[in-house]
Amino acid sequence: MLEDTQTDVEAEVMVRPMIVDVYAYHENGDVLFTHAWKHDGEPRRKKGPIKVPKDAPATPIHFKLHDKTNGLNLTFKSPKEEAMWVDLNDCPTGKGNGGQIDYDSVTNSVLKVTDANAGGACVLHFALWFDGDPSDDGPPYQYDPEIRNGGHF
């Protein structure tokens, strides 16, 4: 009985949304981005590639934009399919979901997607796209981290 309860709790933890805080800065004419991520409810954030564990079910990912550019007024591009381009092989050069991402919703500061984490392990190369006031870098503005899917059959 304890095993079943423990398994249920572990499964519940795995489907909590992953929160990705995306920070935008404007320095010396350049717009620079960084991010930190964690599963909702975890105390510590991680840096680097976003990791969806092996055998995790479809995982909601919430990208939250923190615009620290002091005046560029960055927002996620709209519609939602324009806010994130995904490719399994390389940095994306056009719209697409990489066969893994479902676009849920977008507001000015939050993009919600669901990562299917289906099939074998893979790396999702993606670009987040933003609108904003003009600078030497745009608009549009782009940030391109990656998601490492552990896979799920």
Per-residue DSSP letter, 144:
-
pLDDT at site 11:
46
Model confidence over 57-116: pLDDT tens digits? 999 999 999 999 999 999 999 999 999 999 988 889 999 999 899 999 999 999 999 999
Which is nearest to 114 in space by CA: 8, 2, 12, 15?
15
Residue 72 carries which side chain, given as an amino acid letter?
Answer: L
Count of domains for the chain = 1
Give the structural domain span for 113.
2-149
Question: Average pLDDT of the chain?
Answer: 88
| Single-letter residue type at 111 | L
Q: Which residue reads 């799920």 in tokens?
A: 152
Residue 152 banded pLDDT, cuts 50, 70, 90: low
pTM of the model: 0.86
Whole-angstrom Cα distance, residue 109 to residue 75? 6
Q: Which CATH number characterizes residue 104's domain? A: 2.60.40.420
Q: What is the pLDDT of residue 112?
A: 98
